[in-house]
Structure 1
Amino acid sequence: MAGQTAGSPENERETAVLRLQDVTVRRLTTDQLILDGIDWTVLPGEHWALLGANGAGKTTVLRLLGALMHPTTGTVEVLGSRLGRVDVRELRARIGHVTSAQRVPPELTAHTVVLTGHSGTVQPLWRTYDDEVRLRAHDLLTELGVKELADRPYGVCSGGQRARVLIARALMADPALLLLDEPFNALDLPSREDLVEAMHHLADSRPRLATVTVTHHLEELSPAVSHALLLREGRVLSRGAVDGVLTDALLTACFGRDITVMRRDGRWSAYSGLRGHGR
């Protein structure tokens, strides 16, 4: 529109990948307030960490972002579509969603698992995969650094390998939004670092891709993570650029105990009960 400038409210509304306004969620059976007055905007190319103690509402937020549920009040817009005014099945097909709880038949090869991302199914639909789709699946395995797993059964892959295969699967639809629900769960140190490196590469190779990562550990954040949102008891405690959010005072308030945060070479770490500086 004429007269708009980059960063203006009008421009932000047009380009936002996610936009939550005064979002409240109540549990139907008990009327318990799960989320209270959530306002949040995510723009293309931003990489967000979603942090908070257990029970803070992170899972509920991620379900809203993935079009898996509707808010009780307020508005949720995902990829330009407002929940309640869009076919959520079509919207979900445009969102990449990665979780360690993803149901995957263990006998499927890694390449086949990635192929199922094209059809959005658990089991492969072979007639929908032409040569171009099959090649894309191989290319994504290569991009995630696991091309050697193409013919290996998913069930015998390590936790870190499975995480990267699932990310490749999520990218088959070429999403503008990638949601990662504790992708580092139960990974050992080498596997964690492989996945951090993969996420950093994705940020470099896909400048318009927006990501939201739910994690409990700052050490799992890629240097590409640009923003963070802290939830406490269903409310936004803080949100914005990581340098202003991942601080001793805010993490202490978020988790309810003394936290010291350090950053070195773009990587974050947090400790409880320690005092000092390391930024």
Structure 2
Amino acid sequence: MILSLRDVSLKRDGTWILQKVDWDVKKGEHWVLFGLNGSGKTAILKMLHAEYFPTAGNVTVLHKEFGKSYLGEELRSKIGFVSSSLQEKLYNSDSAFEIVLSGAFASIGLYKKPTKEIREKAIGLLKDFDCLEYADRQYETLSQGEKQRILIARALMADPSILIFDEPTTGLDFIAREQFLETIEQITYKPNAPTMIYVTHHVEEILPVFNKALLLKKGQVFDIGNTEDMISSQKLSSFLGLPVQVQWENGRPMLNKVVLQK
């Protein structure tokens, strides 16, 4: 078991953000966490990263139960994050290479001297994701797509067991988005690939590799199961509260709103 949430509820500032969430993720599974804005997706991610602790229930991540195990940098380094919000925390004056190197220490900024092995690993990842040509450029000068590739390389530096993509295509145009999704797919071909969780409210971004899905609505699990069953016309119409049609092509879904005749 990679992670387990059992009857988890979370209250913040007097408001219940999550209520009675049950979720198990096993090694070898890749998940979509699907929900609209305000559904509680961010709260779950912060909980997995030990930034939030449950008000009720039990959270176990990589065999460490919150409240009973020491949760330090070692745990956080085993959970890689790729998100647009992470970009805001990074130092724009750092080079792309320095950003990737910092992933080995799970730090914002590079405060330790990387070993030869760490530098070689970073160069290898930059090559893998076609980033080497702009490795010496300042991070702030990169395009949004280039920044996201650098974040993937950074996240993989510590050999994470879990790799979380949090609304990662924000700000990307259609071409850059598809190139980015191809990069994600590449990761699954690597030996000992991490378990991946893709957080989104765009069904068209769901790749075939994401075989499991959790639908989160207003802080509660609406449904959970195989992705093709969850991302279907009937299920999403009920989830969204309006009639929609889902079409699957080449293992990926597309969502169309059904126009009702008056």
TM-score, with structure 1 as normaliser: 0.88
Q: Distance in 2 between matches of 1:181 and 1:258?
A: 27
Matched, 1:34 2:20: no
* Contact 1:110–1:154 under 8 Å retained in 2: yes
Identify the residue that residue 99 of structure 2 maps to in structure 1.
Answer: 113
2: CA distance, partners of 1:22 / 1:50: 17
1:104-183 pair list within 5 angstroms: 104-127=90-113, 129-183=114-168
Structure-2 separation of matches of 1:80 and 1:117: 22
Corresponding residue for residue 202 of structure 2: 217
Q: Is the 8 A contact 1:96 1:175 kept in 2?
A: yes
Task: Output the CA distance in 2 between the equivalents of 1:52 and 1:104.
Answer: 27
* Residue of structure 2 aligned with 1:98, choices 59, 68, 82: 82
Q: Which residue of 2 aligns with 1:55?
A: 38
Matches of 2:4 and 2:97 in 1, distance apart? 34
CA distance in 2, matches of 1:259, 1:207: 38
Q: Report deviation, 1:256.
A: 2.1
Q: Secondary structure at the match of 1:204?
A: coil
1:270 Cα deviation from its structure 2 partner: 0.9
Pick the aligned partner of 1:84 from 67, 74, 79. 67
> 1: CA distance between counterparts of 2:234 and 2:33?
17
Whether contact under 8 Å (1:46, 1:209) holds in the other structure is: no
1:226 matched residue in structure 2: 211
Q: What RMSD over aligned residues (CA atoms) do the two structures have, in Å?
A: 1.5
Q: Which runs of 5+ in 2 are unaligned?
A: none
Q: Is the 8 A contact 1:110 1:150 kept in 2?
A: yes
**Count of matched residue pairs:** 257
Per-residue CA distance 1:231-251 (angstroms, 9 max, x = gap): 111111111111111111221
SS in 2 for 1:88: coil
**Cα distance in 2 for residues equivalent to 1:158 and 1:143:** 18
Tell me the distance in 2 between the aligned counterparts of 1:218 and 1:64. 24
Structure 1: how far apart are the matches of 2:249 and 2:163? 26
Distance 1:69 1:261, change over 3 A: same
Match of 1:187 in 2: 172
TM-aligned CA distance change 1:75 to 1:229, over 3 Å: same
Q: Which residue of 2 aligns with 1:8?
A: none
Cα distance in 2, alignment partners of residues 75 and 97 from structure 1: 22
Post-superposition Cα deviations, 1:149-187, rounded to whole Å, max 9, x if no partner, equal 211211111111111111110111101101111111111
Query: Could you list the runs of 5+ residues in structure 1 that have no partner in the other structure?
Result: 1-15
The structural deviation recorded for 1:62 is: 1.1
The answer to which of 145-154 and 170-179 deviates more is 145-154
TM-score by length of 2: 0.93
Instruction: Supply the distance in 2 between the matched residues of 1:143 and 1:122 (Cα, whole angstroms).
Output: 23
Deviation at 1:208, TM superposition (A): 4.5
State the shift of 1:199 in Å.
0.7
Amino acid across the alignment from 1:176: S
Q: What amino acid does structure 2 have at the position aligned with 1:39?
A: D
Identity of aligned residues (%): 36
Separation in 1, partners of 2:209, 2:126:
21
